[in-house]
Amino acid sequence: TESCLKAIDAAGALNAFVTKTPEIALDRAKAADARIAAGDAPAMCGLPIGVKDVFCTKGVTSQAASGILEGFKPEYESTVTQQLQDAGAVMLGKLNMDEFAMGSSNENSTYGAAISPWKRAGDDTNLTPGGSSGGSAAAVAADLCLAATGTDTGGSIRQPAAFTGTVGIKPTYGRCSRWGVVSYASSLDQAGPMTKSVRDAAIMLEAMCGHDAKDSTSADLAVPNFEAMLTGDIKGKKIGIPKEYRLDGMPEDIAKLWDDGTAMLKAAGAEIVDISLPHTKYALPAYYVIAPAEASSNLARYDGVRYGQRATLSAGDGITEMYEKTRAAGFGAEVQRRIMVGTYVLSAGFYDAYYNRARRVRSLIKKDFEDAFAAGIDAILAPTTPSAAFGLGEMKDADPVKMYLNDVFTVTLNLAGLPGVAVPTGVDAQGLPLGLQLIGKPWEEGDLLNTAYALE
């Protein structure tokens, strides 16, 4: 814990940790030492971790990197972080992210962008660690902590993992409690671990998940010992290669990475099967209707009364001015854009044309996956991202849709509620990490991690 705290101070330029909690960390580390000495050490006893700012942590600033929650110190602890604490993990502090988890580069943060510890060969440009869990990815990749929590609504665990050469798993929807996690799009949000290895991900996921009566969408299912399932034996497993993910103009190094990963699984005894997920191309537009719709509803609570830092008002201002000034000052540009899109697609005149249509598309995407699994496929292999990490500013200043295109391979499984794990499997011509993604059947994270283990 002490060496991590030192590393965090030395790596301030990465802007990964936005709140440091050294006193809490040292107290918990001491308690962990005592438990180890007493021979009662739980799975993560004494392991120093970082926590994404979207998790409410009791008495510790939890802003989801938004200006509107400035100085918010919850009176309660999220279920996931409480479980990690119970498993002995030591929180070092809170990690940078895109505001309310909306983004793919961590540039939409009230704290400023997090920066990747990676550089392109011979080029000093600061690169994004990805988003929205950019602080988590940068911190794990730069060895500021052993692991971190992330959340994934449309790729925010897997894309930053791919950009930083780390491992991240988005569990099945309902595996981890959402209680105490600031909501973005409630039907898509899931917490998960970001780690240095598949084994670490298995250990940490087990500590994070489980039934929680405080979240009505949390699944009442036993939590397996995921680590024990890492045998590396994938003989006879059927791995699907979805042709719709082979996009026109896919960079050569991504195509090669995918082919190499396929060959690796085959060499390990898996059967490779070409499959079709015909509605894939509609996933991104459907996601960018559904996620903003849910966000606009979730963010209505930040009104300067129930939640949110109230803006300074002028004499004569009424309730409307209070809402307007508070929300205009507190929310960043991307969040405001999503609220507008979400409100529009839910409005009486456009509900059927956009929101309802997107929901129907969502069912078809889910069915594509169900059909593949019903035909005997055990897991699906695809790239995680369409490129390696990009430079700060390279995408953000362009049209926002360009940024959204980063999520083309990741949003599909959130719409279907399925688990997905991102594993680093190679580097591009400039030495930057690249990763592949495995998509699994609902509740079969153990099997999925085992396949990822064979690929690692």
Catalytic residues: 52, 132, 156
Dihedral, 340, 345, 347, 351 alpha carbons, nearest 10: 180
Query: Rounded to an integer, what distance in angstroms lies between the CA atom of residue 178 and that of residue 65?
Result: 18
Q: Which amino acid is at 101?
A: A
Query: What 3-state DSSP class applies to 167?
Result: strand
DSSP state letters, 57-78: BTTB---TT-GGGTT---SS--
Pairing between β-strand 147-152 and β-strand 167-170 as defined by DSSP bridges:
unpaired
- Backbone phi and psi for residue 195, each to the nearest 5 degrees, phi listed first: -140, 180
Query: Rounded to an integer, what distance in angstroms lies between the CA atom of residue 139 and that of residue 124?
Result: 19
Tell me the closest approach of the beta carbon of residue 267 to ligand GLN, in angstroms.
32
Q: Which is nearer to ligand GLN, 154 or 446 (CB)?
A: 154
Q: Which is nearer to ligand GLN, 101 or 448 (CB)?
A: 101
Note the residues at the interface with ligand GLN (CB under 6 A).
101-104, 132, 152-156, 184, 291, 407
Query: Rounded to an integer, what distance in angstroms lies between the CA atom of residue 327 and that of residue 346?
Result: 19
Q: Which is nearer to ligand GLN, 82 or 190 (CB)?
A: 190
Exposure string (b/e) for 368-389, b if CB count within 10 Å is 16 or more?
bbeebbeeebbbbbbbbbbbbb
Q: What are the C-alpha distances in Å from 355 to residues 130, 173, 290? A: 28, 21, 6
Q: Which is nearer to ligand GLN, 183 or 326 (CB)?
A: 183
Q: Which amino acid is at 356?
A: N
